[in-house]
Structure 1
Amino acid sequence: MLETLNWIERYFDEVTDAVFIFQEDHLLVSNQLAKNLQQELDLDPNYLAQVADASVKQKLAPTDDCFKCEIRSLMKDISIPITLAEDQPHPLSYFLIYHVIDTDNHVFSLTLKSRDIIERMDQLAQQRQLNQYVNRAHEEERKKISSDLHDSIAQGVYSAIMGVRRLREESLSADEIDELSQIIERELNDTLTEVKGMALDIRPSVLDNFGLLSALKVLAQRSQENSGVTVTVIGKADTDRLSSNVQSVLYRIAQESIHNALKHAEANEITILLVSHDHFINLEIIDDGVGFDVPAHRKFNGRSLGLMNMNERVKSLNGSFGIKSSPGNGTTVTAKFPVVGA
């Protein structure tokens, strides 16, 4: 038992948060970090207790000074933003966590947690979640490419091989040879078209050779021909100062947005706006489809996977990303990037 108490005491002293334990207004005990803060900042623990007491009264029972009242006893923890050393060059931002330990004996703890550390932890947790989304998106893209290669490309090549084998092994008339040769040629042409389409989806050469605006126009034309939906590109943006990565991301955003509009939105018209300003470039993809409830799609699903992937790609290049939509009012996807050298 004594050894267990020693372990608890060691943990209490070594924990990375400053902890003060009070009974009524009297400080009973504090850990080492709390003592260090008291010395370094000339911090009065009773000041923290007064801040906590004021917050408790404000949040739970503004007109009741009873510590043991029922509504207060139901609320075990309260988080209070607080700044210490405000008169110093580098003020310290904390969350003051009020926690009831023993209501009957009026015992409570106050814990100072660094807001910077909490925010970094939140950012790391969010980053891990976004990485999971992105990895899932990349895996889905690889599965789609694999499926296309197997179901379309491989089948077309196999069919052509079988045709060539017939030419070699069977005794065919001149007319049969001519007919079979035409079939093989059509099969190979169709396969070549499929390969070119896949190459355009993965990385369009026009993006490298002629820039983002030309690539968007080619994308719009292909999408319109394949779907029958009107897809228009408007803009006279100068994309020369955009990095290759930014141009690729903007292209992917347009591609994903068009895909979503055709697959989910039942759109009749899609407009792509690309506008450059002195200090930034702005891309908007607007559709007149059925729209959707944006908050409801923040949870993981087929559509949100693509949206999360787009958002993460934009953030990684210091851009901003937004989606505006509501049921019956279409959808607008926006991406904005600063222009290098502007």
Structure 2
Amino acid sequence: MLETNTWIQQYFDEATDAVLIFKEDDLVVSNQIAQDLEQELHLDPTYLVQVADASVKQKFSATDNCFNCAIRNSMQEISIPITLAKDMPHPLKYFMIYHVINADEHVFSLTLKNRGTIERMDQLAQQRQLNQYVNRAHEEERKKISADLHDSIAQGVYSAIMGVRRINEDDNDEAAIHELTQVIETQLNDTLAEVKGMALDIRPSVLDSFGLLPALRVLAKRLQENSGVTITVSGNASTEGLATDVQNVLYRIGQESINNALKHAAANEINLLLVAHNHFIILEIIDDGKGFDLSQHQGFNGHSLGLLNMNERVKALNGAFEIKSQAGAGTTVTAKFPVSFA
């Protein structure tokens, strides 16, 4: 037991957060980093108690300032933003964690955690979560491609193979062979069209050969033919000097936005506008569909994951991404990138 107490004391003293333990308003014990802060900043622990006391009373004002009642009947821990050394060139920003150890005897701890460290940890946690969802989206896309290859492409090729085998049967006359060759040709043409469609979805060659605006026009024409929805592309942007990564992202945003409008918005018309200025380029996708409540799509779900992915891609290239939508009033997706054209 004595050895365990030694370990606990060592952990307490070596903690990277300043920890102070009070009974009533009197400081009972503090760890080394808390003592260092007291000395270097001439910090009075009573000041921290007063800040905590005011925050707790404000939080539980409905209890008529019954301090102990509030603590016993409500949460045992609250977080309080606090800035120390305000008069110094570099003020120190912390979160002060008020934690009740024994409410009956009014024993509590105050822990000072560096605000920047916490924010960085939160960012890392959010990034890990985002990576999980993006990886999931990529995996779903791979599954879709695999299913298309198996269910459509492979079946089409297999049917053609079976047709070729039937041609070699001895009882086929010239008319039967001619009919079979036409069937096989039709099957192979259908399969070829599907392969081309998949290739365009994955990576359109026109984007590499002719640039962003022609690629968007080809995309719009193909999706308009498939859906019957009017899709127009206009703009004055010359994207010859535009970075390849930015062109790729803008194309994917146009593709994702059109697909969302076709799948979810019941749109009759979709307009893409690509405009370049001296220092930035803007892509807007506007549909006249039923729109949606943005607040309902802040989390990660099947409909919002594509939007989230677009937002992250734009941010990674120092761009700005915005969605405006309202139930019954359509949706506008805007991506803006700072660029420098020669």
Cα distance in 1 between the residues matched to 2:255 and 2:170: 47
Determine if the alignment matches structure 1 residue 144 to structure 2 residue 144: yes
Shift of 1:204: 0.5
TM-score relative to the length of structure 1: 0.92
Cα distance in 2 between the residues matched to 1:54 and 1:304: 41
Q: Any runs of at least 4 consecutive aligned residues in structure 1 with deviations exceeding 6 A, and if so which?
A: none
The answer on whether the counterparts of 1:20 and 1:111 sit within 8 Å (CA) in structure 2 is yes
Among the aligned pairs, what percent are the same residue? Answer: 73
Deviations 1:52-104 (A, max 9, x none): 22323333339966533x23542422222112223333322111112222233
Letter in 1 for 2:157: V
The answer on whether the counterparts of 1:98 and 1:108 sit within 8 Å (CA) in structure 2 is yes
Equivalent position of 1:35 in the other structure: 35
Equivalent position of 2:186 in the other structure: 186
Cα distance in 2 between the residues matched to 1:205 and 1:317: 23
Secondary structure at the residue paired with 1:136?
Answer: helix
Equivalent position of 2:177 in the other structure: 177
Equivalent position of 2:70 in the other structure: 71
Unaligned runs of 5+ in 1: none
Equivalent position of 2:332 in the other structure: 332
Shift of 1:4: 2.6
Change (3 A) 1:71 1:229: same
CA RMSD of aligned residues (A): 2.1
The answer on whether the counterparts of 1:285 and 1:332 sit within 8 Å (CA) in structure 2 is yes
Determine if the alignment matches structure 1 residue 215 to structure 2 residue 215: yes
Letter in 2 for 1:189: N
The answer on whether the counterparts of 1:133 and 1:308 sit within 8 Å (CA) in structure 2 is no
Cα distance in 1 between the residues matched to 2:82 and 2:340: 39
The answer on whether the counterparts of 2:97 and 2:112 sit within 8 Å (CA) in structure 1 is yes
The answer on whether the counterparts of 2:63 and 2:70 sit within 8 Å (CA) in structure 1 is no
Unaligned runs of 5+ in 2: none
The answer on whether the counterparts of 1:67 and 1:106 sit within 8 Å (CA) in structure 2 is no
Equivalent position of 1:307 in the other structure: 307
Cα distance in 2 between the residues matched to 1:66 and 1:156: 77
Secondary structure at the residue paired with 2:67?
Answer: coil
Cα distance in 1 between the residues matched to 2:341 and 2:23: 61
Aligned residues: 341
Larger CA deviation: 121-130 vs 75-84: 75-84
The answer on whether the counterparts of 1:95 and 1:112 sit within 8 Å (CA) in structure 2 is yes
Change (3 A) 1:14 1:307: same
Equivalent position of 2:94 in the other structure: 94
TM-score relative to the length of structure 2: 0.92
The answer on whether the counterparts of 2:85 and 2:92 sit within 8 Å (CA) in structure 1 is yes
Deviations 1:102-140 (A, max 9, x none): 233232211111111111111111111111111111111
